[in-house]
A and B are shown apart, each in its own frame.
Chain A
């Protein structure tokens, strides 16, 4: 049986599509790239799922599949969920983009939401992402105050725009506080690999880096810093994706938290009342999608105050982390005095700002 005939059959039997609205709970599916216990990226998406259940109670039924590889298996996993009667499916990793669109073509009545992607080939596919660079501006400010060696490190996952935004944003704001600050970037080429992340963190510490930011999701860098501190070091870190509170009050002095709950509640609500429309969403601190976790007392009061002011200014929209004058790495002008970066430019960011040494691997 082909999909078309199946769908036709399902429609006549009243199994698929809007026919199932009435009293049935809205079925929401999640495709996760990692295990829900990763303590980072997937964990936070799953917190969003749980928030949905809390918000809507019996009106919603959620299903999820964890550790779905990005590649051939993703399409099957998503199809399986759509066949299982999901009304809306969130695919929560960049690598699920093509698979999401391919399945969306076969299930026009199911809504699809693809995280951190950009392909919306069918009217039932939306994309959503968060402005993590806003949070990095706050962490960069703290790093500027904290560093004594004037070396801050950034463990990148992959040299894609999202990481480069984060590196530039943290560097720019650290430099505002400490003009001598130097940025050391290491690419881990993974989103989650405790062994690689720990190696990267240790190598940085050996080079004299005393504040580490990470764009990878495990707590291994926190543990590496804790170990260095136990041996007389002075290294600070920030929780990534989730709070990583077990490393408080130091080495973890603050964190950048992904909070998907508001978005998920909004979108599932839209499916329930029939107002769901295709969109490309890019929320940040004003929408509550990017949250800074508790800033501990290991940070000087002055630094904490500056970070809190930054949070307030970004959240009320009065400050954009990429406001000129900013030059590109080669010295050419990117943003003039007072000019603010456009979203399109940020979404494709492929250059470092002036002052960062090293090249983006390509």
Chain B
């Protein structure tokens, strides 16, 4: 008989090892799934994990990894801070969308000006848009005691509809004869967020992600606020005695993660995506939740997790196109990663005992 015995404190060793174990388990289960689909599992895994980094066209894909990882890391860095405090912003996707819309709208209001101030203005408005969208669940939680998980999640669907109305209505490109979608921001010099060094994939969003990670690291390890956040998450009662104001913490954590998600949306809409379109929302806000946990809610871990996630996307697309693996199988493969991570996490909180134990 196998029993689980709660550890007095979570195991540090397992905490560090479980992401690696989860990746290994995902590869095994994924390999079995690919084999069941009649594909060579070794070739499939090589296409997903090896080709984007070291394969024939890696010079192109490595840049794409940065493009793909940047918004994930930027959003996850903010989410992780809240998660550490036990504040669950599940609606980063909505904040990402609203940030993009707010930034794009601010820029487009000045089209076709070529002023160099337009891009900075858009960045500010993008951050503000995400921040304000996250303030809705924050203020509701603080004043009315609503559940921020539900409110922030529901606001994603509101944001989706805002996006649709912007794309087909008030932000539509007037020169596009009725077709949906805004002007292409990446093709308008004043609003473009191009590669800073050609061929590297390095755009302002990547820079912002790096800054956000450093900021988050310093905040969590060197600043009193970071201490309060950790304390609130680990021992809410003790935190109250230590003078932590829960309301302030809620506003700070949701606001910060909303701001970063809004920035991610802005950098995406002015660069890789290029325009506000009906399908601009690409799920980064939700995937970032996986990235945050995969990175152990640790800023540096999140960088590694974001890059790993980017590899599964870029490599997954590769496998879909070249090996004919169904898109749904690739999504299932990515989902396995979170599944195994959560499963393996049991080991850091519990000890596995084999054999008959005394009945409690």
**Chain A residues proximal to chain B, CB less than 8 Å:** 1-3, 6, 29, 35-36, 63-73, 75-77, 79-81, 83-84, 94-95, 98, 118, 158-161, 189, 347-350, 361-362
Cβ-neighbour of B57 out of A83, A189, A361 (below 8 A): A83
A65 to B317, CA, bound (A): 7
Q: Is B184 an interface residue (CB 8 A)?
A: yes
When the two chains form their complex, are residues A84 and B321 in contact, meaning their CB atoms are under 8 A apart? yes
When the two chains form their complex, are residues B272 and A75 in contact, meaning their CB atoms are under 8 A apart? yes
A13 to chain B, nearest CB (A): 12
CB closest chain-B residue, reference A157: B278
- B199 cross-chain contacts in A, Cβ below 8 A: 1-3
Q: Given that A71-B279, A72-B268, A73-B282 are known contacts, is A63 also in contact with B178, CB under 8 Å in the complex?
A: no
- B57 cross-chain contacts in A, Cβ below 8 A: 80, 83
Q: Given that A73-B282, A83-B57, A95-B277 are known contacts, is A63 also in contact with B327, CB under 8 Å in the complex?
A: no
Q: Please list the 6 inter-chain residue pairs (A to B) with the smallest Cβ-Cβ separation, ordered nearest first.
A: A72-B272, A67-B327, A70-B279, A348-B177, A65-B321, A189-B164
Q: Give the residues from 193 to 252 in chain B that come closer than 8 angstroms, CB to CB, to chain A.
A: 198-199
CB closest chain-A residue, reference B330: A67
B152 to chain A, nearest CB (A): 21
When the two chains form their complex, are residues A160 and B60 in contact, meaning their CB atoms are under 8 A apart? no
Q: Give the residues from 293 to 335 in chain B that come closer than 8 angstroms, CB to CB, to chain A.
A: 313-314, 317-318, 320-322, 324, 326-328, 331
A184 to chain B, nearest CB (A): 20
* B144-187 vs A, Cβ < 8 Å mask (1 yes, 0 no): 00000000000000000100110011000000111111001001
A362 to B274, CA, bound (A): 22
A159 to B282, CA, bound (A): 22
A195 to chain B, nearest CB (A): 12
When the two chains form their complex, are residues A80 and B321 in contact, meaning their CB atoms are under 8 A apart? yes
B68 to chain A, nearest CB (A): 8
When the two chains form their complex, are residues B64 and A76 in contact, meaning their CB atoms are under 8 A apart? yes
Q: How many residues on the B side are at the interface (Cβ–Cβ under 8 A)?
A: 43
- B324 cross-chain contacts in A, Cβ below 8 A: 63-64
B186 to chain A, nearest CB (A): 8
Cβ-neighbour of A71 out of B176, B280, B313 (below 8 A): B280
When the two chains form their complex, are residues B178 and A2 in contact, meaning their CB atoms are under 8 A apart? no
- B339 cross-chain contacts in A, Cβ below 8 A: none
A46 to B318, CA, bound (A): 19
When the two chains form their complex, are residues B278 and A70 in contact, meaning their CB atoms are under 8 A apart? yes
- A189 cross-chain contacts in B, Cβ below 8 A: 161, 164, 168, 278
- B331 cross-chain contacts in A, Cβ below 8 A: 67
When the two chains form their complex, are residues A161 and B177 in contact, meaning their CB atoms are under 8 A apart? yes
- A81 cross-chain contacts in B, Cβ below 8 A: 321
When the two chains form their complex, are residues A161 and B280 in contact, meaning their CB atoms are under 8 A apart? no
When the two chains form their complex, are residues B314 and A66 in contact, meaning their CB atoms are under 8 A apart? no
A72 to B328, CA, bound (A): 19
Query: Other than the known A71-B280, A81-B321, A161-B178, what 5 A-B pairs have Cβ atoms closer than 8 Å?
Result: A65-B327, A76-B67, A158-B164, A189-B161, A361-B165
- A29 cross-chain contacts in B, Cβ below 8 A: 321
A-B contact pairs, 12 of them (CB 8 A): A1-B199, A66-B320, A70-B279, A71-B272, A71-B282, A72-B272, A95-B279, A158-B168, A160-B180, A189-B168, A347-B177, A348-B178
Cβ-neighbour of A94 out of B59, B179, B272, B327 (below 8 A): B179
A353 to B222, CA, bound (A): 67
CB closest chain-B residue, reference A2: B199
When the two chains form their complex, are residues B282 and A69 in contact, meaning their CB atoms are under 8 A apart? yes
- B165 cross-chain contacts in A, Cβ below 8 A: 361
A161 to chain B, nearest CB (A): 5
- B64 cross-chain contacts in A, Cβ below 8 A: 76
Q: Is B142 an interface residue (CB 8 A)?
A: no
A330 to B198, CA, bound (A): 53
A295 to B95, CA, bound (A): 48
Cβ-neighbour of A80 out of B164, B178, B318 (below 8 A): B318
Q: Is B257 an interface residue (CB 8 A)?
A: no
Q: Is B124 an interface residue (CB 8 A)?
A: no
A66 to B330, CA, bound (A): 11
A71 to B67, CA, bound (A): 13
CB closest chain-A residue, reference B268: A72
When the two chains form their complex, are residues B59 and A6 in contact, meaning their CB atoms are under 8 A apart? yes
Q: Is B273 an interface residue (CB 8 A)?
A: yes
- B168 cross-chain contacts in A, Cβ below 8 A: 158-160, 189, 361-362
**Quick one: which of A63, A71, A79 has the most chain B CB within 10 A?**
A71
Q: Is B89 an interface residue (CB 8 A)?
A: no
When the two chains form their complex, are residues A63 and B59 in contact, meaning their CB atoms are under 8 A apart? no
A361 to B170, CA, bound (A): 10
A245 to B54, CA, bound (A): 47
- B272 cross-chain contacts in A, Cβ below 8 A: 71-72, 75
When the two chains form their complex, are residues A72 and B273 in contact, meaning their CB atoms are under 8 A apart? yes
A215 to B314, CA, bound (A): 32
When the two chains form their complex, are residues B282 and A72 in contact, meaning their CB atoms are under 8 A apart? yes
A189 to chain B, nearest CB (A): 4
